[in-house]
Every structure is written in C-alpha cells, then in structure tokens.
Amino acid sequence: MYLLEKLLESQDEGLADLVEAGSVLFDCPMAVVSALDTDCQHFLVRRGIAAEQTPIGQSFCRIAVAQDSLLVVPDTHLDARFRENPLVTGDPNIRFYAGAPLRLRLHPDAPTTGIGAFCIIDSKPRTFTSADSARLISFARGVEAMLQSRLSSIALSEDAVLLKAMLADKERAQRQFRQAERLTSIGCWRLDLITGGVAWSEGIYDIHRVPVTETEKLDDALAYYPPADRERLEAALDAASRTGACFELELDFIAANGAHKRVRTIGEPELEQGRVVALIGVLQDVTERHRSMAELSKRANTDEVTLIASRHKFVSYVDSCVDKAKISREPLALMLIDLDHFKQVNDTLGHAAGDDVLRAVAMVLRSPWLKDSLAARLGGDEFALVLTDPGLIANLPDIAAQLTEQLRFPRRSKTGDFIVSATIGCSELDGPADSRHDLLQRADRALYRAKAQGRGSFSIDTPQAA
C-alpha cells in the first residue's frame, strides 16, 4: 500500500507517452495503467477516462491480475461477468476491454507480484487478433520496466534518508546502501574539483565492470563514453563547476568488458562557504529500460506485416514534415493509395496470399527511385506515400502514373483471373497555413475522384480542383 501511494504521487512523463502511444497504435480512445489495492482500482496514468479511481468490485483489471494472463473481452454486453457492471451501463460505457497484468518486484528478494494492468478500452465492441495480443503484452512489459525503474528510484531515495539516520551503525548502513545499489543498478560518485580525483561507490565499479580501487582520474572515467556523449558530459560538468548548475543526462556507455550500455547520471554541486569544491551525483544503468522503450517504439512505428511505417509513424512524420516545410518553404506531397480487388484475394486465396500482396506493395513503395519518400500502411488495404524530394514532386503526375503501372498484381483463383491494382489520390502542401488535416483531406478528395474515374487510376488535387 505504501509503495502504491508513492507511485500515485509520482509523475512519469515517459509512462504517459507510452500509454498515449498504445492508445494510438491500437486505435482505442481509452488506455489506462491501473494499480489495485484492497478497496479501489487507482489509475496511475489514464487517457480518455475522467475518473481517477473506481471501486475494486467494478475493476476489469483485477480479473486479469487474478488469472495472471491477458484478459480480452470483445463485447461486454455478451459477457455475463460484465454486462451489469456500472462501467458498462454508465460512463465510460465500456464495450471492449483488453488488459495485460503488470508484475513488479516490490523488494529485492521478493517474487514478482501482480499490482495492476495495462489496458486498452473502447466504447464499441471489436475483435482482437493474436498479433494484437502479442503487441499488448509487449507494451505491458515496457510499462513494467518503467514502473520497476520508478520503484527503484523511490527505494534509492528512501534508502538515502535511512542511511543518514543510521550513521551510528556504519557497517550496517554500508550493507544496506550496497543492497540499494544492487537493487537499482545505481552507484554514487564524487568529483573533487581541486585534485581532479573521482571517488566511486561499489555500484559504479559494477556498472563499469572494473575492480574496486581507491580513486579514479576524470579522464579515465570519461573514456567509457563515446565521443559525442563524452562531450555532452564534459559540458555538463564544466557548467556545474562554474555556475553550480545541476544536470541530468542519459548517455551511451561502453563498459570495460566491451558491453554497450545506456546510463543515466545526475550531478549537483557540493559547496563550502558558498564555493563549489566538488560535484556529487549518481549513475544508473538503464540499459534494459532503454532497450524495452526502443523495442516498443519500433513496434509502434512499424507495420508488422509489411515492415514499412505504421499509421502512428505516418502521423508524426507528416506533422514534422509540415512544420519543417512551413519554415523552409520546401515542397511536400502526399499520396493516398487504395488497393482494388484486395478483398477478393483474401476471400478466394486466403489471408496469407493477401499478406503477400501487401508486402509486394510495400516493396514497390520502397523502390530506390522514390528516394527518401516515406511509405506507410494505414490499415487494411490502405497505404500512403509522403514525398519530400523536389524533383519527384515537380513530376507528381508522372510519379503517380508510374506507380499505377507498377502496382498491378495479377492473381489466379478458382473463380477466375483478376488483377489487384491501386487507385491513388495526390495532394501537395498549399502554403504556410496548411496542416496535416488539409493535406489528408485534399488527398482523400482526389482519391474519391480517381475511384469515380475507374480503378487503377489517379487524381491530383489542386486549388483549382478544390
């Protein structure tokens, strides 16, 4: 209960970003990280839900925790366990729920314990594939990593307070401090600005994978960082030495055994009579958390069938391109691409054959002649191509015509031969007032006109056409 209160008090922007990414990836309006106690279900982070907590008896997440596995409810109105639940009959009107339990190690020697769940929620029923389940469980592991890191930071902070109160028993204090370092993969350091000597705790030596010595030199300590990150750390140390400014950095790091790591370091001045005489701080090995976040980012930004950009990546990329184009006045164009007769592939040849077609489309959209254009799968048989190369945009009709020729895939089925083709709607950024919404709306309008002309054709939206 005490640790839960500390988690509720803490604010983690990274966790909020992860929950938002999960909501966007699964196209669910609501997403929650819950934590359970005896009476209540608390929401550590929530998106699309106003309530901060609910009675434990109304909690879907408690069932996911109790069964210690993913809980998927495609339609709550068809599930006797939930159809009369106040969260179903009233606000937020839950019709779909999918939640993966979160397990944390609350103490160094304790087994993992289910504390809540990461879940996505919709007010309408929906299907949830095995691939969706795998992605949700992967997101939950990332949430676990972030919560465990937060608990470790809380434990380290409170261990520091305890250590000050137990200085009378130095040996016991040192043992407990060492336990805290092992638990959190953290060590303490002190840089003497007069001698240039660096003192490390045992935890720092563990991170560096070197034997314990009495002192280190600053240049030797900096040698473990790649050049770019070493420069960032040197600049932070210099500023702290001159101005007394605190710093917090996350850096790449290469241990003595060659292992590549990610570390987080925090530093602040040590003052004597108002003068900075030393810098003190902590160093934490955050490699696993960094890898988890990188993997989650990759999953969120990559379509798993075609391995091109996902809708989530497409949205963020177009927004950044629009912002850049407004400043640089560089051209920007968008193509929305719908496949014709794709449903016939799935219906007559099976979904594996359909996936082959999707991958073939992606291969064309990643052709070298399209240069640095971003190809994305928006969902189903819908694709997008974002063009930033001025030469390609200047010849947009020719590019669209060439794509309609290359995006033709003959197929043979028992019901007869047919061709999967592509219909394309194109638009260009039209001035500094344009937004992603404007660009998409015009491309969609052009796509509608192209479909009216006939399958396998294209149309380009222009101010005159609008």
Neighbours of 381 (CB within 10 A): 21
Tell me the residue length of the chain: 466
Q: What is the largest CA-CA distance in the chain?
A: 90
Nearest residue to 374 (alpha-carbon basis) of 308, 322, 430: 308
Query: Hunting for tokens 């069932």 — which residue is that?
Result: 63
**Residue of 303, 338, 381, 461 with catalytic role:** 381
DSSP per-residue letters across 293-354: HHHHHHHHHB-TTT-SB-HHHHHHHHHHHHHHHHHH----EEEEEEEESHHHHHHHH-HHHH
DSSP per-residue letters across 454-466: -TT-EEE--TTT-
Helix (H) or strand (E) holding 450: helix 436-453
What whole-number distance in Å separates Cα of residue 385 and Cα of residue 204? 48
Neighbours of 81 (CB within 10 A): 10
**Quick one: how far is CA 410 from the chain centroid?**
38
Active site residue 381: yes
Which residues are the active-site residues? 381
